[in-house]
Amino acid sequence: MARRVAVSTGGGDCPGLNAVIRAVTITMIREYGIEVFGIETGFDGLLGRGGARVRPLTEDTVRGILPEGGTILGTSNRGTPFAMPREGGGTVDRSAEIIDRLQELEIETVVTIGGDGSMKIAAQLLGLGVNLIGVPKTIDNDLLVTDVTFGFDSALQVATEAIDRLHSTADSHHRVMIVEVMGRDAGWIALHAGIAGGADVILIPEMPYDMQAVVSSLVKRARSGQKSSIVVVAEGAIEAGKGALYLDDRASTNTLAKRLGGVGTKVAEDIAEACGADTRATVLGHVQRGGSPSPFDRVLGTRFGCAAAHLVAKGAKGRMVALRGADIVDCAIADAIREPKLVNPHGELVTAARSLGVSFGDS
Ligand code: F6P
């Protein structure tokens, strides 16, 4: 019987997932004659009451998906099989069902395409004897080892284009425009888009801001004759001495993360109140995650998918593919999730931005 492998996409979606699914499928089939199955909706697809929601992936089923956003398999970022919501409240560990289903389907390895949450689940399943190979995705770019995750470049293009567009309307109305971008714990999108879009202030979770410092940099710009200013703020940015802002009071649970939101509007209100500037806030939200992947993400996703297929074929276990410099390498999944990859406040990127006069609201 042919060897069988399954592919799963987990966590928040991002552009480039389909490029990986396509590359894994075609490489497995063409180069190794391995059968490929797609698990629907992350690991949830192995937990359905009516049996596994798994379908064969063939060269035909992945034809034409390279430029498509999202994932043809569906995904879920609502928790982990180790703590699934239980009817009537609380959670239950359903990992044993995943192991049973994979055995029933005679799947030897799962290629799990995901971010830190999915890689943590993978590390736990590895401990229970499930064979997995990881492919790092997330627009947040916050996984260790890999220089970059696919999805980040596409999100960056959306955020940069938004900033470019705001410059002209900000100038026309002599306004301070605030752009809130994604980035829960890591400010990579805000930092890169802020630099690429020529922002004047960049606020990121790694560098708590002081509103007085933000305002004095904006006032200085206005006094020097600048008609407008652009402030880029990551959704997880925090004011010094305070906490992150959330959309509601719902507490985090084992299965659901609290939803961030509101910092862009708060920054706009605080600036207006402190110096009388005419401010407007734009929240980019999920447009950063949707739509067609950039050429860079299509190529990276394809390279990751091919590399993952080669690892599976040679019987590797618990490895994650990664980009290091110009090369695709692999590392232990555990090494990628030791801690989140955060912006270094003293690193070269922040220093370069400062050289151009960008304020991080810290001085
Ligand atoms: O992890 C990716 C991410 O886009 C974060 O930047 C953001 O906080 C979160 O997902 C939003 O998730 P959801 O799709 O559940 O709103």
Q: What is the pTM for the complete model shown?
A: 0.96
Instruction: Write the pLDDT tens digit of every residue in 162-187.
Output: 999 999 999 999 999 999 999 999 99
Q: What are 120-126's contacts with CB under 8 Å, separation 24+?
A: 120/80, 120/337, 121/10, 121/43, 121/80, 121/81, 121/82, 122/318, 122/333, 123/318, 123/333, 123/334, 123/337, 124/80, 124/82, 124/95, 125/81, 125/95, 125/98, 125/99, 126/317, 126/318, 126/333
pLDDT of 255: 59
Measured by CA distance, the residue closest to atom 10 of ligand 1 is 12
pLDDT of 86: 87
Q: Which of 70-74, 256-260, 284-288, 351-355 has the lowest mean pLDDT?
A: 256-260
- Per-residue pLDDT band for 252 (boundaries 50, 70, 90) equals low
pLDDT of 254: 56
pLDDT of 120: 97
Q: Is the pLDDT of residue 38 over 70?
A: yes
Residue 200 among the catalytic residues: no
- Per-residue pLDDT band for 275 (boundaries 50, 70, 90) equals very high
Give yes or no for residue 255 CB within 6 A of ligand 1: no
Instruction: Write the pLDDT tens digit of every residue in 202-211.
Output: 999 999 999 9
Ligand 1 nearest atom to the CA of residue 235, by list position: 8
**Ligand 1 centroid – CA 272 distance (Å):** 28
